Structure 1
Amino acid sequence: MKKSLILLLVTVCTAASFAQKFDKEKLDRYLQTLEKNDKFMGSVAISENGKIIYSNSLGYSDVETKTKPNETTKYRIGSISKSFTSALILKAMEENKLSLDTKISKYFPNIKNADQITISNLLNHRSGIHNFTSDDEYIKWSTQKKSEKDLMDIIEKGGSDFEPNSKADYSNSNYVLLSFILEKIYKKSYSEILTEKIIKPLGLKNTFYGGKINLKNNEANSYHFENGWIKERETDMSIPLGAGAIVSTPSDLLRFADALFGGKIISENSLKLMETLKENYGYGLFQMPFGDKKAFGHTGGIDGFSSNYGYFPAEKVSFAFTSNGKNFKNNDIAVAILSAAFKQPYETPTFKLIDLKTEDLDQYLGIYSSKDTPLKITITKNDKILTAQATGQSGFPLDATANNMFKFDQAGIVLEFKPSEKKMILNQGGKSYNFTQE
């Protein structure tokens, strides 16, 4: 459900073959290092030619009871749900129940520009319909049950951000509306349609439309890291629908991907429609480059859950991971998984930290501003933990890695302080921003 687009990027990728021995032990060590240093909890799987060749589960599905996850532990997959919803819409098109060119005024006459917006525009985020999960108010009601009328009122009130089909911008509202369209044409709930059209035919035993998390069903709670794993709140699953309400496992996601790209869910022509990109958006798919190879897939995030899956058509290789707690960049994890899969070099990270006294942190405290960005960053401390908070954003803890150097792995942020000059340098994504203490 979270509004994000993560692409997998590496600068060098030479030819490799799965005929070589897959180094399971090295990938195990990489993931176990993340687990040991409280960087990742979740499950991972890789398949080749429709056969799962690697799976692993780490951390805890429930921290309070120290319950370990396994291959059938189920996670909320967030926006990966959009790939399922897109496939369902195209399947309905194949059954002559709808047309991609149909204007949504047929279903939702009260939405702004409804007579200009097509079902196709919803699928590739070109509708202009405002994304309700971007609103500040969303977090206040996201744990409350909402009816179709409630959600329609919210979407209608949100209005339009741009003229339909003039550009693309990610909006969960689009896929909530697509879910309602499916329910209207089949006269069944989204959950029933999903089960009937995809889950049962593919035998996805650990995939379903989510409800309240049930630990007895081997479902995972989700967490964020703040000097320890802190349990996250639960979005009420009446809200995300086909935009983000599906629960699954990496193994089931691989079975779904292999079936989708293998022509077992929709036709080859429909699949080509899903893969056709306009301003980086397909129908429920993104393209994910890995060196000279290209995958189609999607990322997901809801509450403390995050997920990623991709399928490489040329190599017939797919990967997926689901996480219920991360304190490290998902993109780096994905790159390591794919490097292992394609026999590329990758390093197991080290997490050597230095131990500072609480008084050592006093020299960094204050508000920092920059000519490079309107954001201000406030540095505070809680005992021996330094915390940074940018304007309008949540605070995040910093790990001390060297004298005057701190990092936040989850966002790939490194902060370098120069106390004598009252300056701070923020490094992220290959860019540097200079800040001065006010």
Structure 2
Amino acid sequence: MTRPILFALFILLSFSQLSQVNIKNNLAVADKIKTLYNQKKYSTIYVLLNKDFQKQMSEKEFIDFIQKNIFTYQRDLNNFEHLKDENDHSQFIGHFTNGELLMKLNTDSAGMISLLQFLPHLSMPKTKITDYASDNKKITGIDSLIDKIVTDYMQSPQNCGLSIGIFENGQEYFYNYGESKRLTRSLPESSTIYEIGSVTKVFCGILLATAITEKKAKATDDIRMYLPAGKYPNLETHDKYIQLIHLADHTSGLPRLPENIEKQANYDPLNPYKSYDEKILLEYLGKIQLTSEPGAICDYSNLGMGLLGVILEKIYKKSFHELVLEKICKPIGMNSTGVQLTPHQETFFATGYNSAGNETPHWELPGLTAAGGLRSCAKDMMLFLEKNLEEKDEALTLSHQSTVNKGDNVAMAWHILKTKSGNTLTWHNGGTYGASSFCGFIKEKNCAVVVLSNSGTPVDPIALAVLRFLQK
């Protein structure tokens, strides 16, 4: 469930005085960082930064970065491998549970950290893959464009398969590349099913809009109306309570992720939400402190969206899976989308591979399903985006309306971006350890794009390149 920002790198803001490299100190400090990181003593790592570095980044910003952008995705650190030394820093490969990062490190004359930077590092061979399969006939201009756009992605050996759907002025185009399972030569199809991760959130937003249009709930309802009575006085601050709409537009003040994820029974770092059920979620909810006043700050929260899904289940007395099928999929004709796949659908489910190219299990999210638990295919997602473009349904139209524009412009889960061409892109992306996704549409141009991959490498650059072309 990736944070929906358009990014290509995990990179820590760094400060460096371009001092002489101190190899001995760097080796010792790298070892300290490993130990403290695995003990989750991030504040102690911060103490190791020199004063100039600390002026550039507060302790809270530093800890938030480590927690949200490194630990969330990479998990535990197995070891640092000393790679080489440059004039002003040493380089290490950090071998984490879910992949690798390149760390650049240097210390000053007092042994304090003057440079600390994390960059992507691929453990796979650097040899480009050039013989990947594709159904792109390379006849039309858009065929050639797509083939060019995906080249870097598909030539990267850690990536596996890719399905793209494009809608432009009433015409659909589908393109598939690579493999649905490595070393099988099984080319994906428009019916190949992928995890769609946080794209699930827009389905949750539409379900909230549906509940509002059906008079089942109000956007301004206190969420505690739908939770066990008297147990959550902490979900209010300065007489401001969390409303349903705050869960949908990420202004609830709830943290990004539950802090007790690892305390669940049978915790699996490769399938981290597997045993995190509604009972654990609701118990945790009674203990947390809000990070901000509800409605004040837009701060992306998987926890908040997962909770909204639980509340919608209580409103309708149906599971999130059942609601998505009844309210969205069946009316549109989406036959390969859901949380639980049928045995037949399972035969179309692509195997997932993490950002290092290693096979990884599909995620299960029993307590946070609405945050990232859906699976779908390019064909279904094109139908979904076309219906969103039409805006003939009252709930769909409502779900597109901006409810907060405080740095991030957000509707009911959808993110809204003004493009350089002056158009409005309504979009969301997603990711699990073994899949990445992007979907978006531009009403002014009557166009839409979906990109699905069974690799952990983000597909945002591909989708955005296609959208730039469609605006010309």
TM norm structure 2: 0.63
Decide whether the 8 Å contact of 1:128 with 1:162 is kept in 2: yes
For the residues of structure 2 that align with 1:22 and 1:185, how far apart are their CA atoms? 49
Residue number in structure 1 paired with 2:202: 83
Residue number in structure 2 paired with 1:123: 248
Name which of 224, 235, 254 aligns with 1:113: 235
For the residues of structure 2 that align with 1:145 and 1:212, how far apart are their CA atoms? 21
Tell me which amino acid in the other structure corresponds to 1:240: L
1:102/1:142 CA distance change after superposition, 3 Å? same
1:116/1:320 CA distance change after superposition, 3 Å? same
Between structures 1 and 2, the one with greater helix share = 2
Decide whether the 8 Å contact of 2:417 with 2:424 is kept in 1: yes
Q: Counterparts in 2 of 1:94-243, with a 5 A limit?
A: 94-108=213-227, 109-111=230-232, 112-114=234-236, 116-132=241-257, 137=262, 140=269, 142-210=272-340, 216-226=346-356, 229-243=357-371
1:288/1:330 CA distance change after superposition, 3 Å? farther
1:169/1:185 CA distance change after superposition, 3 Å? same
Name which of 329, 332, 336 aligns with 2:461: 332
For the residues of structure 1 that align with 2:184 and 2:434, how far apart are their CA atoms? 18
1:38/1:315 CA distance change after superposition, 3 Å? same
For the residues of structure 1 that align with 2:327 and 2:346, how far apart are their CA atoms? 27
Alpha-carbon offset, residue 324 of structure 1: 1.1
Aligned length: 327
Q: Counterparts in 2 of 1:366-385, with a 5 A limit?
A: none
Tell me which amino acid in the other structure corresponds to 2:470: A
Mapped pair 1:252 → 2:380: yes
Residue number in structure 2 paired with 1:6: 6
Unaligned runs of 5+ in 2: 9-139
Mapped pair 1:284 → 2:406: no
1:68/1:135 CA distance change after superposition, 3 Å? farther
1:2-39 Cα shifts (integer Å, max 9, x gaps) = 2332289xxxxxxxxxxxx7431232243245323436
Decide whether the 8 Å contact of 1:75 with 1:249 is kept in 2: yes
Decide whether the 8 Å contact of 1:211 with 1:236 is kept in 2: no
Tell me which amino acid in the other structure corresponds to 1:332: P
1:44/1:288 CA distance change after superposition, 3 Å? farther
Alpha-carbon offset, residue 185 of structure 1: 1.3
For the residues of structure 2 that align with 1:93 and 1:51, how far apart are their CA atoms? 33
What percent of counterpart residues are identical? 25
For the residues of structure 2 that align with 1:289 and 1:269, how far apart are their CA atoms? 18
Tell me which amino acid in the other structure corresponds to 1:91: T
Decide whether the 8 Å contact of 1:88 with 1:197 is kept in 2: yes
Decide whether the 8 Å contact of 2:332 with 2:387 is kept in 1: yes
1:262/1:271 CA distance change after superposition, 3 Å? farther
Residue number in structure 1 paired with 2:44: none
Tell me which amino acid in the other structure corresponds to 2:430: G
Give secondary structure in 2 for the equivalent of 1:311: strand
Mapped pair 1:45 → 2:177: no
Decide whether the 8 Å contact of 2:199 with 2:428 is kept in 1: yes
Higher relative contact order (CA 8 A, sep 6+): 1
For the residues of structure 1 that align with 2:201 and 2:5, how far apart are their CA atoms? 13
For the residues of structure 2 that align with 1:96 and 1:215, how far apart are their CA atoms? 34
Alpha-carbon offset, residue 65 of structure 1: 3.9
For the residues of structure 2 that align with 1:253 and 1:224, how far apart are their CA atoms? 23
1:100-120 Cα shifts (integer Å, max 9, x gaps) = 111112123534225711111
Alpha-carbon offset, residue 177 of structure 1: 1.4
Decide whether the 8 Å contact of 2:198 with 2:430 is kept in 1: yes
For the residues of structure 2 that align with 1:133 and 1:3, how far apart are their CA atoms? 15
Residue number in structure 2 paired with 1:34: 153
Mapped pair 1:307 → 2:437: yes
TM norm structure 1: 0.68
Residue number in structure 2 paired with 1:319: 449
Between structures 1 and 2, the one with greater strand share = 1
For the residues of structure 2 that align with 1:318 and 1:334, how far apart are their CA atoms? 10
For the residues of structure 1 that align with 2:417 and 2:332, how far apart are their CA atoms? 25
Decide whether the 8 Å contact of 1:198 with 1:265 is kept in 2: no
Decide whether the 8 Å contact of 2:400 with 2:412 is kept in 1: no
Give secondary structure in 1 for the equivalent of 2:146: helix
1:37-60 Cα shifts (integer Å, max 9, x gaps) = 4364321111023431x2111122
Alpha-carbon offset, residue 308 of structure 1: 0.6
For the residues of structure 2 that align with 1:132 and 1:320, how far apart are their CA atoms? 26
